Amino acid sequence: MQHPADHSPLGKSSEYVSVYSPDLLFPIPRANKWAELGLEAGSLPYHGVDVWNCYELSWLTPSGKPVVAIGEFVIPADSPNIIESKSFKLYLNSLNQSPFADAQALSEVLVRDLSVVAGAPVGVRVRRLDEVATEGVQILPGICIDELDIAVSDYSHPRPELLRCDTARIVEETLYSHLLKSNCPVTGQPDWGTLVVDYRGPALEPASLLSYVASFRQHQDFHEQCVERIFLDLQRLLQPEKLTVYARYVRRGGLDINPYRSLQQAALDNRRLVRQ
């Protein structure tokens, strides 16, 4: 069966286009993966967004002078489409030799084009380098589970049966791991990320969570879909009062992707991690 991204630029040689070309953007419907996970549009069990950061955003002033900035793009998790990442980069590259009156004019074009392809309003911020530099690198809250001693032998697919919890003990805590890895479903190339789980409910056994994270190591899926799978597996196990799951992925081609899924409307900290 063909993957929805098989007709995208992903995994294919692509001509570098340096003049504004919104038709380079390629949508991937979320509905197929939602159906696989037992989800339906309009009744998703989470709130969320996908936050993209672009570190290679550049355009020209009306006088022809180059400008560089960092772009932040916030795509609703219930939008009909994901924007395929290579097409996103090709589109952003098409701005390089294109003049815009100012950053606000560029932002308006980005909002229009990205919202059309996502099928929902996309938030855009064009950020100065000094503004982002003052924010520094984010130090994650909670407990890192990466030093726990576990034995792993199967990396072929996510294994929710590895997850364990103590139903007699209710806790509120944040656990995280830098060991999340999955592979692109089209190219097979590795995607590296940090997973954060913030919850209130039966105490999750940290070693079981780490074993579960390791089981994604050869799994093929997009970033957004990995996080949704993790959220659903934890929700089924814990039946928590509160649950937020997010991943911050290492950038590729100047873009990083950071999916957030939560039972609540969660406040987001978009400062980059040290690997980003």
- Whole-number mean pLDDT of the chain? 94
Q: Is 271 inside a domain boundary? A: no
Chain segment 193-242, per-residue pLDDT in tens: 999 999 999 999 999 999 999 999 999 999 999 999 999 999 999 999 99
Q: Are residues 124 and 72 in the same domain?
A: yes
- Give the integer Cα–Cα distance in Å for 29 and 35: 11
- Give the integer Cα–Cα distance in Å for 197 and 200: 10
17, pLDDT greater than 90: no
Q: Is the dihedral of CA 82, 85, 86, 88 positive or negative?
A: positive
Cβ of 63: how many Cβ atoms within 10 Å? 6
5, pLDDT greater than 80: no
Which pLDDT score is estimated for 179? Answer: 98
Q: Is 218 inside a domain boundary? A: yes
Catalytic site residue from 184, 221, 226, 233 = 184
Chain segment 126-166, per-residue pLDDT in tens: 999 999 999 999 999 999 999 999 999 999 899 999 999 99
Q: Are residues 121 and 173 in the same domain?
A: no
Q: Is 184 a catalytic residue?
A: yes
Tell me the CATH number at 119: 3.30.1130.10
Q: Are residues 153 and 94 in the same domain?
A: no
Q: Are residues 158 and 109 in the same domain?
A: no
Q: In which band, very low, low, confident or very high, does the pLDDT at 249 lie, cut at 50, 70 and 90?
A: very high
Q: Is 32 inside a domain boundary? A: yes
Q: Phi/psi class of residue 48: alpha, beta or left (left: φ > 0; alpha: ψ in -120 to 50)?
A: left
Q: How many domains does the chain have?
A: 2
Q: Show the domain range for 236.
A: 143-262
Query: Mean per-residue pLDDT for 113-126?
Result: 98
Query: Are β-strands 123-127 and 143-144 bridged in parallel, bridged antiparallel, or unpaired?
Result: unpaired
Q: Is 250 inside a domain boundary? A: yes
Q: Is 54 a catalytic residue?
A: no
Which pLDDT score is estimated for 91? Answer: 97
* Domain-ending residue, one of 103, 135, 167: 135
Q: Are residues 94 and 169 in the same domain?
A: no
Position 205, amino acid: E
Which pLDDT score is estimated for 118? Answer: 98
Sheet holding 47-60, edge to edge: 123-127, 66-76, 47-60, 255-262, 242-249, 190-204, 165-183, 143-144
Radius of gyration in angstroms for the set of CA atoms belonging to the chain, rounded to a whole number? 19
263, pLDDT greater than 90: yes
pTM, entire model: 0.92
Q: In which band, very low, low, confident or very high, does the pLDDT at 12 lie, cut at 50, 70 and 90?
A: very low
* Domain-ending residue, one of 98, 114, 135: 135
Which pLDDT score is estimated for 6? Answer: 54
Catalytic site residue from 54, 113, 165, 191 = 191
Q: Is 16 inside a domain boundary? A: no
- Give the integer Cα–Cα distance in Å for 276 and 178: 12
Q: Is 65 inside a domain boundary? A: yes
Beta partners for residue 244, in sequence order: 198, 262
Q: Are residues 258 and 152 in the same domain?
A: yes
* Domain-ending residue, one of 114, 135, 156: 135
> b/e string for 232-255 if b means 16 or more Cβ within 10 A?
bbbbebbebeebbbbbbbbbbebb
Q: Are residues 148 and 108 in the same domain?
A: no
13, pLDDT greater than 70: no
Q: Is 66 inside a domain boundary? A: yes
Q: Are residues 111 and 157 in the same domain?
A: no
How far is the CA of 237 from the CAs of 62, 165, 176, in angstroms? 56, 8, 18
7, pLDDT greater than 60: no
Which pLDDT score is estimated for 110? Answer: 98
CB 81 within 8 A of CB 114: no
Measured in degrees and rounded to the nearest 5, phi and psi for residue 257 equal -125, 130
